[in-house]
Copies of this chain bind each other. A is one copy, B any other.
Amino acid sequence: MQNCIIASTSTIHGSGPLEYLFEALIELYTDTNEILFIPYARPGGISLDEYTIGVNNIFKKINKRVLGIHMFSDITEAFKNTQGIFTGGGNTFLLVDQLYRNKVLQPLKNAIELGTPYLGTSAGSNICGLTMQTTNDMPIVQPPSYKTLGIMPFNINAHYLDPDPNSTHKGETRETRIKEFHTINPQPVVGLREGSWLRIHQDDIILKGTLSARIFEQNKNPYEIVSGSSLSQLN
């Protein structure tokens, strides 16, 4: 019964925030006038209110209103009758920490499993995997657990970046980091490039956007899948 868009990034080069997704969002949020926004990831450290106001200004363009979850005194109240949900990007450690501390994780999972339209971008997409352990973010706070929603039976790596063949930098490539992840953890990782998203509808998971995605499975060589491919068998 799930109905989600799991996007690598909110913004692609050369266009405004979420613009490249507007068509897909109009379809996702067909019956949604008001979106419950989860601003906990606070990109660049902006406040919950600033973040919510900015996101409301974006969604105004497709005639949706946005309410921040921090505006409710009661979490159960926030999810009651919600017509659609969006979790924005920022710092994944901060997001997951706040989801645990404010007891939002389980009601959020329930709402998504009941079919409430859900959009995640960047950190808001990372939390849809089994764990947040393939984030690129800095551990600026220590969440009680790295376990996340498990809407998909794998992890994603948002903002996936191919190694630059001309780089002289010796810090680990993204691929090396994911390889290190797989020496300890078994679940597949979907490297989602900026401009790609996963469309989860009922039991299907389809790669969308123009780019291919890079799939990392434990003890296998990484491989590419083209846009339009199904990922529902990946686990």
Contact = CB atoms under 8 A, between A and B. Distances in A.
Contacts of A12: 170
A146 B142 contact: yes
A171 interface: yes
A11 interface: yes
Contacts of A132: 139
A91 B137 contact: no
A145 B143 CA distance: 11
Interface residues of A, number: 46
Contacts of A159: 169-171
Contact of A139 (B44, B146, B170, B171): B146
A159 to B, nearest CB: 4
A182 B45 contact: yes
Interface stretch (A28-36, A173-181, A223-231): A173-181
Contacts of A141: 184
A44 B180 contact: yes
Contacts of A73: none
A87 interface: no
B133 A140 contact: yes
Contacts of A178: 138
Interface of A: 9-14, 42-45, 90-91, 93-94, 132-142, 145-146, 158-159, 161, 168-172, 176-185, 194
5 contacts: A10-B170, A136-B138, A138-B180, A140-B181, A142-B145
Given A9-B170, A43-B172, 11 more contacts: A9-B171, A44-B180, A45-B182, A133-B138, A133-B140, A136-B138, A137-B172, A140-B183, A142-B145, A142-B146, A161-B171
